[in-house]
């Protein structure tokens, strides 16, 4: 005798058997009782939630010998034929394998004739979104003006792929994913009837694997029974399904809250020893963090979470031990880690580092506390309290003004450049060259003036450097000589000489080096002035902070 899988053996036969779709059952039953049955229906929803079963039940309700009735008898010939899929007046068509326009034309011809033995001819098209555009167009006219004896029921998991011209001619029913407690309760009824001994915890694991699909849950239960027999142990279910033990996940979550790095690393080792996928482990940890956050913000999260009462109570207790900001930060980091695990060559290391980081991150700052500290700082500064006694009376009004003052050039006189015949010297020559030949001028900035005894100029560059080779080029040197002659008002001779590495320190600095040295001194002076500013000192004291970097505001940083 052939074995009948649980999903077929325990298929719903009445509207009352449709678990989790009470809104659909009630609407269809009321329509039948009121005699207001539409000619076309669209059932949408995820796989295995009861769309095709609802279509068969609806067909039985319309064609039952005691009906039309909301409670088909399931014993009359019409009900039995529909249940067995053998009714000559109820056509179940797979849209995935009958996608062409010819199939729909044949259906249109068939629908014109009256039913053989039933009250209605009912067309059930599963996965209707797989029909071609031409097939939909061929079906359109029939849907617009159907014969009185015809009813259409379409089922699909992807309603967005159906043309709007079809959608507008159908009554749409959205089937929901079935909540975990309802799936678990239904599985309990089935295993009790089948004589299978299995715990509620194991059934919850089976239901969770189904992800809201009753058919998937029953298929998983079939697999478990085939492996374990009539006695099902929790560990066997855990190992067979490859799911991470909920106790291990909860232990990791508790260790993260307690910032215990050793415990999280030990948990990663156990996951590796058990052979679980680190990506699945991370996904389940993300789901658990989500549940923790919902337990923090909702008084009764049982309607949203697919968890047992004990798990919800534990998460509510853990939620009181961690700030909501920290829980959200943990979930964000774990979601990022889950994406990294897809392509990681070292998944265990990736998982370990993410969990260790979560245990070592400092707690999130309380925003309200920071605002209070800012208010306190503002009051102290406004009243002059808390500032150093030696603070100058002419201190700037704000930090920006203080930085600008710090950046102002010093007023002390600088050593004048030795005058030459033209009054401008070496920097003036470089500026003149840059204005007329920018490329040559930029090369000169890297050179050191070794000798200036007109009409002779000696310019040095590091031996083997790009700048040396460029300026030794005959054409470039000729251009430079002409410009220098114009600048000094007399013919000059220019020699470009190499500076060996051993004598580099003895050569005068180039203009570029002088400018960099001045910028370094300026930044040092700016940092010293900023750190000495009373407002900065007060902010560091209030927030227990440190100054990492000081940026000049005239450089486009603010």
**Residues 129/43, Cβ–Cβ less than 8 Å:** no
Q: Judge whether residue 534 has pLDDT over 70.
A: yes
Q: Which residue has the higher pLDDT, 12 or 380?
A: 12
In degrees, rounded to 5, the angle at the alpha carbon of residue 207 between the alpha carbons of residues 285 and 157 is 95
What are the φ and ψ backbone dihedral angles of 464, each rounded to 5 degrees?
A: 80, 5
Q: Judge whether residue 265 has pLDDT over 90.
A: yes
Question: How does the average pLDDT of the chain come out, rounded?
Answer: 82
* Among the ranges given (212-226, 257-271, 334-348, 521-535), the one the predictor scored with the smallest mean pLDDT: 521-535
**Residues 357/264, Cβ–Cβ less than 8 Å:** no
Rg of the chain on CA atoms, in Å: 41
Comma-separated ranges of CATH 3.40.50.300 domains in the chain: 6-174
Q: In the CATH hierarchy, which fold is given to the domain comprising 6-174?
A: Rossmann fold (3.40.50)
Residues 6 or more apart whose CB falls under 8 angstroms from that of 383 comprise none
pLDDT band at 498 (very low <50, low <70, confident <90, very high): confident
Q: What percent of the chain has pLDDT over 70?
A: 87
Residues 6 or more apart whose CB falls under 8 angstroms from that of 32 comprise 61, 62, 67, 68, 69, 70
Most confident listed range (38-42, 96-100, 128-132, 479-483): 38-42
Domain 365-388+395-407+418-558 architecture: 2-Layer Sandwich (3.30)
Q: What is the CATH class of 246-360?
A: mainly alpha
For residue 371, what pLDDT is reported?
66
Comma-separated ranges of CATH 1.20.272.10 domains in the chain: 246-360
pLDDT band at 349 (very low <50, low <70, confident <90, very high): very high
For residue 366, what pLDDT is reported?
57
- Cα 52 off chain centre by: 34
C-alpha torsion sign, points 18, 21, 24, 30: positive
Q: Judge whether residue 364 has pLDDT over 80.
A: no
Residues 6 or more apart whose CB falls under 8 angstroms from that of 159 comprise 42, 44, 129, 167, 172
For residue 365, what pLDDT is reported?
59
Place of tokens 């004739």: 113
Residue 322 to residue 302: CA distance in whole angstroms: 20
For residue 124, what pLDDT is reported?
92
For residue 367, what pLDDT is reported?
53
Q: What percent of the chain has pLDDT over 90?
A: 25
**Residues 328/363, Cβ–Cβ less than 8 Å:** no
Comma-separated ranges of CATH 3.30.300.180 domains in the chain: 365-388+395-407+418-558
For the whole prediction, is pTM greater than 0.75?
no
Strand partners, 44: 156, 174
pLDDT band at 156 (very low <50, low <70, confident <90, very high): very high
Residue 208 to residue 243: CA distance in whole angstroms: 10
Report strand pairing: 121-126 vs 456-462: unpaired
For residue 426, what pLDDT is reported?
85
* Among the ranges given (3-12, 201-210, 318-327, 417-426), the one the predictor scored with the smallest mean pLDDT: 417-426
Residue 327 to residue 285: CA distance in whole angstroms: 12
pLDDT band at 391 (very low <50, low <70, confident <90, very high): very low
DSSP state of 157: S
pLDDT digit string, tens, across residues 88-101: 999 888 887 777 78
Q: Which residue has the higher pLDDT, 94 or 353?
A: 353
For residue 531, what pLDDT is reported?
78
For residue 275, what pLDDT is reported?
80
Residue 461 to residue 483: CA distance in whole angstroms: 20
pLDDT digit string, tens, across residues 468-480: 888 888 888 888 8
Q: What is the CATH class of 180-241?
A: mainly alpha
Report strand pairing: 456-462 vs 493-499: parallel
pLDDT band at 415 (very low <50, low <70, confident <90, very high): very low
Comma-separated ranges of CATH 1.10.8.60 domains in the chain: 180-241
pLDDT band at 200 (very low <50, low <70, confident <90, very high): confident
* Among the ranges given (284-293, 426-435, 468-477, 513-522), the one the predictor scored with the smallest mean pLDDT: 513-522
């Amino acid at each position: 005798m052939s074995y009948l899988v649980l999903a077929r053996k325990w298929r719903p036969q009445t509207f009352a058997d449709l678990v989790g779709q009470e809104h659909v059952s009630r609407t269809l039953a009321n329509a039948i009782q009121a005699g207001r049955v539409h000619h076309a229906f669209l059932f949408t929803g995820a796989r295995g939630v009861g769309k095709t079963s609802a279509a068969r039940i609806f067909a039985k309700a319309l064609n039952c010998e005691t009906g039309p009735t909301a409670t088909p008898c399931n014993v009359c010939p019409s009900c039995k034929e529909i249940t067995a899929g053998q009714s000559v007046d109820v056509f179940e068509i797979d849209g995935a394998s009958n996608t062409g326009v010819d199939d729909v034309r044949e259906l249109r011809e068939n629908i014109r004739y009256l039913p053989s033995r039933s009250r209605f001819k009912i067309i059930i098209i599963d996965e209707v979104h797989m029909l071609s555009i031409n097939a939909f167009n061929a079906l359109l006219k029939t849907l617009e003006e159907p014969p009185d004896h015809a009813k259409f029921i379409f089922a699909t998991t992807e309603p967005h792929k159906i043309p709007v011209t079809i959608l507008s001619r159908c009554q749409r029913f959205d089937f929901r994913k079935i909540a975990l407690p309802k799936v678990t309760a239904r599985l309990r009824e089935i295993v009790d009837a089948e004589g299978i001994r299995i715990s509620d915890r194991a059934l919850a694991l089976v239901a969770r694997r189904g992800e809201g699909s009753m058919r998937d849950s029953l298929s998983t239960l079939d697999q478990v029974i085939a492996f374990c027999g009539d006695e099902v142990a929790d560990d066997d279910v855990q190992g067979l399904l490859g799911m991470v033990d909920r106790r291990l996940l909860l232990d990791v979550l508790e260790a993260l809250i307690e910032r215990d790095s050793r415990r999280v690393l030990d948990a990663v080792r156990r996951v590796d020893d058990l052979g679980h996928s680190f990506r699945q482990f991370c996904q389940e940890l993300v789901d658990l963090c989500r549940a923790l956050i919902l337990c923090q913000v909702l008084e009764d999260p049982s309607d949203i979470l697919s968890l047992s009462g004990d798990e919800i109570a534990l998460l509510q207790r853990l939620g009181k031990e961690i700030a909501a900001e920290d829980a959200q930060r943990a979930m964000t980091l774990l979601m990022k880690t889950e994406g990294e695990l897809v392509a990681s060559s070292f998944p265990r290391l990736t998982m370990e580092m993410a969990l260790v980081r979560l245990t070592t991150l400092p707690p999130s700052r309380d925003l309200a506390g920071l605002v209070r500290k800012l208010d306190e700082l503002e009051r102290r500064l406004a009243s002059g309290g808390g500032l150093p006694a030696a603070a100058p009376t002419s201190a700037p009004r704000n930090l920006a003004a203080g930085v600008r003052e710090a950046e102002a050039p010093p007023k002390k006189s600088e050593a004048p450049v030795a005058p030459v015949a033209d009054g401008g010297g070496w920097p003036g020559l470089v500026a003149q060259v840059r204005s007329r030949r920018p490329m040559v001028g930029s090369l000169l900035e890297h050179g050191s003036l070794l000798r200036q005894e007109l009409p002779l100029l000696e310019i040095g560059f590091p031996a083997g450097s790009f700048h040396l080779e460029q300026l030794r080029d005959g054409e470039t040197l000729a251009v430079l000589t002409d410009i220098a002659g114009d600048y000094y008002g007399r013919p000059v001779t220019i020699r470009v000489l190499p500076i060996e590495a051993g004598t580099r320190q003895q050569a005068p600095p180039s203009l570029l080096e002088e400018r960099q040295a001045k910028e370094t001194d300026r930044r040092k002076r700016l940092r010293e002035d900023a750190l000495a500013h009373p407002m900065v000192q007060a902010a560091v004291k209030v927030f227990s902070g440190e100054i990492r970097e000081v940026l000049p505001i005239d450089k486009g940083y603010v």
